[in-house]
Chain A
Amino acid sequence: GQSLEQPSEVTAVEGAIVQINCTYQTSGFYGLSWYQQHDGGAPTFLSYNALDGLEETGRFSSFLSRSDSYGYLLLQELQMKDSASYFCAVRGVSGNTGKLIFGQGTTLQVKP
């Protein structure tokens, strides 16, 4: 089937580095995306990996390895405002170019 697995919760302290993993059981997708969602808000786009390797955007980096069916989001220099839910997503599952599904999300709690 098509599924993306993420840890449900991660806790870290301000200033630290945290990695949120996403493993998937699907193939043929176009790329792996990451979204941030604060309580009561809409998801906002963070990063996208079309190819294997590391993409860096400021304090956030994202990595994809298709051979390992694995990706991660790396958050550096954590700030209190980074406390939110983080979702990985893939498009193009099962040969359907438009189909875009999300993982269950990881709640990140940043402590002082």
Chain B
Amino acid sequence: NAGVTQTPKFRILKIGQSMTLQCTQDMNHNYMYWYRQDPGMGLKLIYYSVGAGITDKGEVPNGYNVSRSTTEDFPLRLELAAPSQTSVYFCASLGLANTGELFFGEGSRLTVL
């Protein structure tokens, strides 16, 4: 059981470039999330989805876009990368049981230079 898989694990971008962080889960979870975490800080919600075809903004959505065409996949798109987007990005899905448990991917460390 792979759980939540994120790719890539590391990436360096130049200012103005675009890229997509991939996230897939094989647990049939409806709710999926993207967070960013700056050094020494908490997790900030970028976007979330409660099911295929439904996405919503979180706390810090500017500069990002998402789509949710299938239950399994929830990619995060960065357009026109800026140094302020240097961070660690975590994808997560919410377990089906009512335990409040988020299952996290290993994270994607992004540096924008």
List the interface of chain A (C-beta within 8 A of B). Answer: 30-33, 35, 41-45, 48, 50, 87, 89, 91, 96-105
Contact = CB atoms under 8 A, between A and B. Distances in A.
Contacts of B101: 33, 45, 48
Interface residues of B, number: 26
Most A CB atoms within 10 A — which of B33, B42, B56, B58? B42
B56 A96 contact: yes
Given A30-B100, A31-B100, A43 B50 contact: no
Given A87-B43, A100-B33, A102-B44, 19 more contacts: A31-B100, A33-B100, A33-B101, A35-B102, A42-B90, A43-B90, A43-B102, A43-B104, A44-B104, A45-B100, A97-B50, A98-B50, A98-B56, A100-B102, A101-B45, A101-B58, A103-B42, A105-B41, A105-B42
A63 B90 CA distance: 27
Interface string B20-62: 0000000000010101000001111100111000001011000
Given A42-B106, A42-B107, A99 B100 contact: no
B105 interface: yes
A100 B103 CA distance: 13
B42 A99 contact: no
Contacts of A104: 41-42
Contact of B105 (A42, A45, A89, A96): A42
B1 interface: no
B48 A100 contact: yes
A58 to B, nearest CB: 15
B84 interface: no
Contact of A99 (B56, B99, B107): B56
Nearest to B48: A98
Given A98-B48, A98-B49, A33 B42 contact: no
Contacts of B102: 33, 35, 43, 45, 89, 100
Contacts of A43: 43, 90, 102, 104
